[in-house]
Amino acid sequence: MAYREIRKLGDEVLRKKALEVTVFDNRLKMLIEDMVETMKKANGIGLAAPQVGILKRVVVIDIGEGLYTFVNPEIIEMSGEIIDIEGCLSIPGVYGEVARPKKLKVKAQDEKGLSFEIEAEGLFARAICHEVDHLNGVLFIDKAKNIIEEKKDEA
């Protein structure tokens, strides 16, 4: 495993659309392992592959309730709305209030290509939305109603 540099705001790669993963090989497994190590070292709760410069639809999330890997994630159901403070490892020190669904259902594949669906709510749902946005070149500051200073989780 290896730590990979986290790309910061201003890096063009963060604004590009990531491509669907079609090959589930050792290279993908290594990318996922590196993303997990990078996320943990940075004390983040989530990381998307474009944040380490790789334009593939791969996300890792750990909000403290175990590690989840999502390859080619697609949010297929959403309900409710919660406004809460959000941060991003690619925009350190900046936080803002963002509206996200209270609950959602996401469909994805694991590192071997097996499809699964999972329901999420609260912070987990927020992290999934934040990371899926990264795969589409969208950052939380695009959606934040206001930018504040209070320290929160970064993803």
Min CB(142)–Ni ion separation in Å: 11
Can you name the residues that pair with 103 across neighbouring β-strands?
Answer: 79, 121
Q: Taking the CA atoms of the chain, what radius of gyration do you get in angstroms?
A: 14
Question: C-beta of 67: minimal distance to Ni ion in Å?
Answer: 17
CB nearer to Ni ion: pick between 58 and 88: 88
* Active-site position among 37, 97, 131, 149: 131
Indicate the residue among 135 and 155 with the shorter CB distance to Ni ion. 155
Using the rule CB under 5 A, is 60 a contact of Ni ion? no
Interface residue with Ni ion, options 88, 106, 123, 132 (CB under 5 A):
88
Q: How many residues of this chain interact with Ni ion, rule: CB under 5 A?
A: 2
Q: CA-CA distance, 109 to 71, in Å (whole number)? A: 5
Distance set, CA 137 to CA 14, 16, 19, 38, 57 (Å): 6, 5, 11, 20, 11
